[in-house]
Every structure is written in C-alpha cells, then in structure tokens.
Structure 1
Amino acid sequence: MIRKKIFNNTKAAFKLKSNAELDRALFLFGLMNRQTFVKIGTFLTKFSLKLHLPVETLIKKTIFEQFCGGVTEEDCKPVTKEMYDENLHSILDYSVEGKETEAEFDAAMEKKLSLIDYAKKSEEITFAMFKPTGIGRFEIWEKVSEKISLTDDEKEEWERVKKRVDSLCNRAYELKVRLYADAEETWMQTAADDLMEEMMRKYNKEEVLIFNTLQCYRWDRLTYLKDLHEKGKAEGFKIGAKIVRGAYMEKENARAKKMGYPTPICENKEATDVNFNSVLSYCLNHLEDISVFIGTHNEVSSYLALQIIEDKGLAIDDDRIWFSQLFGMSDHISYNLARKGYNAVKLVPFGPVRDVVPYLLRRAEENTSVKGQTGRELSLLREERKRRKGDESVKYARE
C-alpha cells in the first residue's frame, strides 16, 4: 500500500530552480491564476506581435523561459542534461505551429526526422513526437476524417501527408526510438487515429515504438482503446497509448453546440477523471499488449498508477510504463517520480520565440481552465520559498 505522499517533497521538486527562477515561477503562476488577466495578456501579446512591437525580449525572459528549453536543440542541452542527472528524461518538441504550405510541412518533417536522430544519440532523450497538423493542413485531415470526397489535387496532397507520417515512423523503427503522434480536435482526429493504427500494424510487431495519443476527456476513448486492442491481438501488433486528459474542451463543446451534434467531451471534470483512470487501468492491466505513456499533471491519477504498479508486483522502472509532464509545470510529480526510480520524462518545447508564442498562450489558457492546477502549483512554490527562507534563517543563526 502506497502510504507516503511522495509529491509533497518540494525540496526535490524544485532542486534545480534558483531563488530567482522560483520567484519568476511564483509571479507567472500568480498571473495565470487570474482568468481575466490571461485573456487580456493573450490579446495584448497577439496584438503586439502583429504590430511588430518589441516585446520578444519580455516574452523570452518570462513565459518562454518558464515553459521552453530554448530556441535551438543546443540551447536545450544544458537543461536536458541537468534533468537527466536527476534521473528525469526529456522529449524535445519543436513547438512551431500554424504553418500552411507544402514546403513548410516538408521542412517540419525534416526537423522531426532530425529530432528522431537526435533522440537516438542522446541517452537523456527517450521519445520523439510530432503533431499531425504540423505536417499536413488541418483541412485535409478534417476532410478525410469526415469522409468528404477529395479532389485529384487533394488526393495527391493526402498521399504526401501519409508519406510524411510513414517516413517519421520508419525512421523511428529503424533507429529503435519511440515516437508518438499528438492528438488534436475530434473533427480531424479520425484520420489521424486510422493512420497511426496503420503505423502500429506496420511497425509494432515485436516491440512498441509507435504511440497514438488518446484524449480521455472524450467519452469514447475507452471503447476505442478496447477495439484497437482486439485488432492488435487478432492481427499481431502491439499498442502504444499516450493518454492525456485533453486540450480543446471549450472549442469542442462550442462547435458541437453550434453544429447541433452531441458533444464528444465528458459532461464534467469528474467524468473526465473517471474516464482517464479507466483508460489508465486498462492499459496497466494489459501490458503484455499495450505500452502506456501517462501524460498527466493530476496527482490522484499518478498515485493510482503507482498503486497498480505495486499491486501487480511490477518493476518501478518497467519500460512499458512512462510518466510525463510538461516542462515548467508539475515539477513536484516529475522530479519525485524520477527520484524514486520510476520512468519519468519532461516534454521540453523549443523554437524561435515569436513562432512558439501560440504554444505558450495555449499553455497559459490551459493552466487557467484546469480547475485547481494553477492553485496547486502556487501553493507548492510558496511552500518551497518558505522552506528555503527557513533554511537561510537557520544558516544565518549558526553563523
């Protein structure tokens, strides 16, 4: 029985943060705890960048340095090495979004291929990843998902998208690097699910290298996983499941309401939690066929996973089970898991400051919308600052 609450150890969680970095995190999470400020800040940031006002330095010194590893892979090296010294692995995410042209999609694919190569030669990098709409237009994913007839040009475009995905998965397979596809909005996701299923069928016969992402605020994901599992058993391939709660709730509900179809999203946070934990439990109970990447900032779900691992007598570093959090968030989970010997990994975004802003703004908005998330971050940061002041007082008194 797991009795000790390991995530309360703030000394381990923030060991790598200087006092100045701790104060910056306190300041930023304090701002993100105010929904009105996030909305105003998001508007002003977009407006300033559109007018080419000199705000990049301000962005870089605040939200960028909190949530990103740097501008280039080289910038990220000190960060990933430092974390690896604490047994915490990394995934590098070139977080440039919103591209539209074939040349940009080809360039994005080449960047992702280079990151798979980089992961192969860097022991601290354990996964590579890609975003489907980073290598193909959203509209083409949407049309294929909704089974809308494609023009001849669109058929050629879709073939190029499929070829890019296969190129990434093939490189990952050849180099034995785990690769996952991120999930996006439901109205483009069916095409991504089908394509990633095809990639698992092709490349996951002996071991799990290719993962698809399941957003568990979708009420249909447990059924989807069970069906995929049955296909895998029947056809001789294994499943890679990256499980998350989800990132597009407001957009999904608004579209469903506007277009008059039932929302694909669970009715509330509690239902999402139940669904996530059910998917998590299913994966951990079928490790002979499924490898699971647990992407969560939720302590209850993390403790549930630890309990199942203990109850089943599994090794805490079983290579089929990985825990992950975003860089700059939930360090109390990541570092304490790593410290205990579990497989823990941080997603480390990087890229030019201006190009990464859409990602950063989404992070800020998500922090605001997740009930209790920012408050928990703040309380832990305050606790650590208080602990350090106490240590300084003791040290001063001794001197």
Structure 2
Amino acid sequence: MAFLRSISKCNETRKLCLNGQPTAWNRGPALLSSSFFNATRHSSTKAVDTEKPKKPLRDPLDTSFDNPEAAFKSKTTWEVLRAYLVYTMCSSAYLVENNMKLMKLTKSIFGEKLFTLIMKSTFYGHFVAGEDRYKIIPTLMRLRSFGVKPILDYSVEEDLSQEEAEKREVESSVSEVQSTDASTEARPQEAASVGGAMPQYNVAKTFADRRYKVQSARTYFYLNEATCEKNVEIFQDCLHAVAGATYGTGITAIKLTALGRPQLLLQLSEVIMRARKFVTEVIGGQGNVIGQKLSAEDLAKRLEQAGVTDTKKFLEKVVKDSEGVIHLFPWSGIIDESFQLNDAFRVPSLKEGRMVRLISQLSNREEEMFRNMIRRVNTLIKTAKELDVRIMIDAEQTYFQPAISRITLEMMRKYNTEKAIVFNTYQCYLKEAFNEVRTDLEQAKRQNFYFGCKLVRGAYMEQERARAAALGYTDPINPTYEATSEMYHKTLTECLQRIKDLKVKGKPNSIGIMVASHNEDTVRFAIQKMKEIGVEPEDKVICFGQLLGMCDYITFPLGQAGYSAYKYIPYGPVNEVLPYLSRRAQENKGILQKIKKERRLLISELGRRLAKGQIFYKPNGQYTPV
C-alpha cells in the first residue's frame, strides 16, 4: 500500500520509467486477494505488514452516468481537450471515411517524426497506451489509481491489400489432401450423410478478406507456422507486461486465428455442428447432447432402434457421468499435443447404417499443425497461470466459433481448477448465444471447473449476414438490436442466477462474468440484477469492461464506486497501429449518440475547470481496484 500511495500523483507516476523500464518492474506483482481470483496479497516491507489496513476510497455511483467530474477526474485538462477534439473529428463523415488515406498523406507530407508527434497528440494518444510494455506503465498506474484495471492487447496489424488477404485466407482454409479439381468440396461425401450440406464451413473467396465490414475487431491472416510462433512471443510479452504492472489483477486477450491454420478451425467447427445434428437425428432434441439428459444406455437403445449396429467402440468413447452423456467424443484429448484428428470423429450414420467420419482426411503435416496450435494455446495459458493473470480468448466468426469455444472450454477444464484463468467470449447478437452459455455452464458444473465468461454484443454482424445470404444458409444473427439486447440480458441473468444458487449453497464463487459493453442500459441492467440477486461488487465475480478512450463516463465511475472495472488497453508503435486507429474512428462513427454524450460531458468538464480555476489540474487518484 505504501508503494501504491507513493505513485498516486500523475507527475510522480511518470517518473516510474527510468531508461524505458519502471523502477518497480523487478519487484514482482503484488497479488491482490479475492474470493474469485484466489490470489494472496504480500508486501515488500515489515512496516507495511504491521500497518493497519485502511478502508479503500469509494464514491457513490450515479447510474445516470452523467457526472463529468467523476468521469474525467483521471485526466489532465489537456487530455480532456484532446478527447473533445478527437470525438469532434470522429463526428465528421468525410474524415472518418477517409481516415487511413489522410493519415498516410499526413505522414508523407510531414515525415515520420512529425507525424508521430501529431498522432501522439491526437488519435494515438487518446486510444493507445504507448509503444511497448514499458512505456504503457504510466497509463496503467494512473488507471489503477482511479480504480480501473487493464486488459492488454498488442494492437499491431499487417496492412494487407484485399487481394493479399484473400489469397492467404483461401490457401490456408483448404486441406492439402484435396485435389485441385475437388477444391470446392471441402468435406467428404460421407460426412454429409449426417446433417446434410453445411456451406458455411467452406471457404468462400468473396468473404476471404475477413476484415469485410468489420470495424471493432482485429483480424489475423495465416502466413506460416513461424508467424504463429512469433504471435505466441507477442502474447507472452503481453502476459508478462500485465503481470508486472497490475498486481495480479490484469487480463490479456488473444485470438486463436493468430495461433494456427484457419482450415483446422473450420473443419473442427463442422465436426461439432454435425455431431449436434446427429443428436437431433437420434433423439429428436436440439443442440448439444449434454442438455438432453440422455444416459449412455438410452443412446445405445436409440441407435439399435434406428438399425445401427456395431456401435460398441463409439459408445465406449462417449464421455458421461451419473446424470448422463456429456460429450459424444472424448474432447479432453483435443488439448493433448499427441491428439490425432483423423482417428477421432466417427459417428453411426442413420442413413447408411455404418460408422462415418465427420472430418475430411488431414495430411500428416496438417495433423502436426493442429498439434502446434494446441501447444501454443497450452503454452500461453501455462504462462498466464504461472504469472497469476487471466487470459481471455476472443470470439470470432461463426464458422470458426464452435471450434474456438470447444478448445477454450477444454482449456478451462484443464486449468480452471482452483480459479478462473481462462475466459471464453460469447457474442449475444447470435441467436444461439443463450443456449451456448447455458450448455457451457452445465459442463463446468458437471466437470467441476471454474467458468469464465465475457459477454459482448458482437463484432461481425454485417459480414455474417452478407455471407449467410450469399452462401445460402440461415442467418445466425438476431433480427434486431432490441433482440440482441434481450439476448444479452437473458444470458447475463442466467449467469447471475447460477452465481446466486452457488452463494445460497455456500459454495465458492466458481463463475466469473465480464460485462463488456458500451451500452449504458446494459450496464445499469447488470447493476440492478446484482442488487436483486444479492451479488456485491466485493464478491468479485462480476466485472465491467470498455475500450480505452471510449465511454470513460461509464468505466471510471464504476471503478471509483468499487465495482471491478476494466479498460481494454491497446499498445504498439505508432505506424503499426494505424489499422487499429482506423477501426476506432469507424466504430465511433457508428455510435454517434454516445459520441454526442461524451462530447457534452467533456465540454461540461472543461467549463467546470475554467470556472473553478482548475486549468492546471493534476490527477491524483487514491482509489484501489477491487
């Protein structure tokens, strides 16, 4: 605590970096105790050990989120003015639509050094924390002193042309064993006997550039295995940065498409969805088999009634417990680095009366690529566990997501045995979002692991709808914005109800939820539901998250009131985060009402400081995050 108080002032915080490295860097993270994160606090001196703990500073929360002083007390007057100017520029349709061209033009006119200075004084300075893991420390420390914790993301992106992006995606989404003339048939005919045609799991050149109509999510395009290894190093650097600067409370976000060949995620996703179709064909129920409460004996009888024989080996591999079947396949093996995909996924076909393979033949090299991807994920999560930080696996397109979620859930089962290290992300604009969360909660309960869940609205709506219409499959997106809000609230309520049930039974908090939303109504809904169900901020099972530079009027009042509040913190060299900055400008164009409110609050705060003679105000946070 003495150390934290010594860095409370903004100008003192900036002195933490000496020769690019913070003086506190080598002390190691001071781990914050919590029932959910299950960390332990330790101190560096005996004086601190004997010091009587003080009650953390907390402000009352105004859920109208209309208090400019509470929203911006962490900012200098220059930063408030800069934010106002940035949002004003984001309100210009011309500037937003041509932002990348204008940034490149500015760079060519003024040169790299002056361009970097301009960007740091405007967009980069507002939306990005710094160039590397050392230069972001002052920002992280200041956020912490105002009750806010970080989710780190190294936001460097390749500036690929559409042609190059399409070329990479097509080449990395088709199996090596397919002949040239059969390249449009991504799966064997026998798989189609279970569930019929599934065009969504075939690569489509029209949509091969996965950046199409996507504003708020970064896209990785597979180049080779060496690039994936480099991405592992980058993510590990994020993990070390967040551990060294956040005292065991930070999070790092990763994407699985950065760690392996997309073809493997496509094929695995199709296997999962065909397995669900198989469940429907056999027992008539919808969705995952875990929700059917079906015993292994009942499954055997239904297969026999359908005329399918010789199912002994299949039934021996079914994962079950006293309540019934959990999985048709031994998914726990998928996270073992010796797993063989070619041998794993066979089910009895009711049409053909024999065992059929649900995955197309993979080459030995592709099998090795899959094992490499699993090894990389294991490496990152092991590192996170050793450093006592959390790792969030981002959601991606629906044709990848079944595989991403399955791998993530199995990683939870492996690593979330004492606390939640791994979090999965659920996109509530999907029609199946509630069912997916409910199914995964059930698996966590029956297999006894901690469940980590980040709820978002979703980042790929326009792309998903256009792709579904073009390829002829059902639109996976909710029909309206209101339907998505309803889905979000319904899903959040289910999670909170499970937390309440655990609390009533006196069990430890084994569910953690991040409400990742810039929507005031959703945040208010979450707070109200917490009160109704009896979940306190101090229980540390619910947290809130927004992007750095956006919706400060939500994040900071939450953190200062004692709620677990996070900022999604991008960092990286100026020239290499231009695609990220371009997306932020585009995203702000789409939420003009929020920009309007943020600008109003910013100008109000500027006026308040002028009236009170606080133009040279220096942020001096005394808050401690939960």
Give the alignment's TM-score, normalised by structure 2.
Answer: 0.59
- Partners in 1 of 2:151 and 2:245 — Cα distance? 11
What is aligned with 2:605? 384
Identify which range, 16-25 or 211-220, moves more after superposition. 16-25
Following superposition of structure 1 onto structure 2, how do residues 168-317 of structure 1 map, counting pairs within 5 Å?
168-287=380-499, 288=502, 289-317=510-538
Which residue matches 1:130?
A: 254
Q: Residues 55-84 of structure 1, C-alpha deviation per residue, up to 9 Å, x if partnerless?
A: 554434321111110001111100111111
- CA RMSD, 1 decimal: 2.7
User: Which consecutive residues of structure 1, in runs of 5 or more, have no partner in the other structure?
Assistant: none
Q: Which moved more, 1:279-288 or 1:371-380?
A: 371-380
Change (3 A) 1:77 1:264: same
- Contact 1:222–1:279 at 8 Å: present in 2 too? yes
Structure 2 match to 1:104: 227
The answer to whether 1:39 aligns with 2:90 is no
Give the conservation status (yes or no) of the 8 Å contact 2:84–2:599: yes
Moved more, 217-226 or 148-157: 148-157
- Residue number among 66, 79, 82 corresponding to 2:126 in the alignment: 66
**One-letter amino acid of the counterpart of residue 144, structure 2:** Y
State how 1:141-160 maps to structure 2 within 5 Å.
Answer: 141-147=265-271, 149=360, 150-160=362-372
Q: How has the CA–CA distance of structure 1 residues 58 and 136 changed in structure 2, closer, same or farther, with 3 Å as cutoff?
A: farther
User: Match for residue 557 of structure 2?
Assistant: 336
The residue that corresponds to 1:14 in the other structure is 72
Give deviations 1:169-214, integer Å, cap 9, x for gaps: 2222333322111112222222111110110111122322210111
- In 2 relative to 1, CA 393–101 (structure 1 residues): closer, same or farther, beyond 3 Å? closer
Instruction: Give identity over the alignment, percent.
Output: 34
Instruction: Name the SS for the 2:577 alignment partner.
Output: helix
Report if the CA contact (8 A) 2:150-2:246 is conserved: no
SS of 1:74's partner is: coil
Alignment check: 8 A CA contact 2:140 2:149 kept = yes
Between 69-78 and 13-22, report the one with greater CA deviation.
13-22
Cα gap change, 1:190 to 1:53, in 2 (>3 Å) = farther
The structure where helix makes up a greater share of residues is 1
Task: Specify whether residues 394 and 105 from structure 1 end up closer, same or farther in structure 2 by C-alpha distance, changes over 3 A only.
Answer: closer
Alpha-carbon separation, structure 2, partners of 1:183 and 1:394: 43
CA contact (8 A) 1:256 1:262 kept: yes
Segment of structure 1 superposing worse, 123-132 or 22-31: 123-132
**1:344-371 deviations in whole A, cap 9, x for unaligned?**
1111110122222222222222222236
Q: Distance in 1 between matches of 2:378 and 2:125?
A: 33
Kindly provide the amino acid, as one letter, of the partner of residue 116 in structure 1.
Answer: L
**1:119 aligned partner:** 242
Contiguous gaps of at least 5 residues in structure 2: 1-59, 158-219, 272-358, 503-509, 617-626
Q: CA deviation at 1:394?
A: 12
Q: TM-score, normalised by structure 1?
A: 0.90
For the 8 Å contact 1:318–1:343, the answer to whether it is kept is no
1:28 corresponds to which residue?
86
> Residue 236 of structure 2 aligns to which amino acid in structure 1?
L
Q: Which range moved further: 324-333 or 118-127? A: 118-127
- Displacement after TM superposition at 1:6 (Å): 5.3
Distance 1:218 1:123, change over 3 A: same
Q: Offset at 1:44? A: 4.1
- What SS does the aligned partner of 1:341 have? coil
Native 8 Å contact 1:6 1:336 kept in 2 = no
Q: C-alpha separation between the residues in 2 aligned to 1:169 and 1:189?
A: 19
Distance in 2 (CA, whole Å) between partners of 1:191 and 1:43 is 37
Residues 77 and 615 of structure 2 are in contact (CA less than 8 Å); yes or no, is this contact kept in structure 1? Answer: no
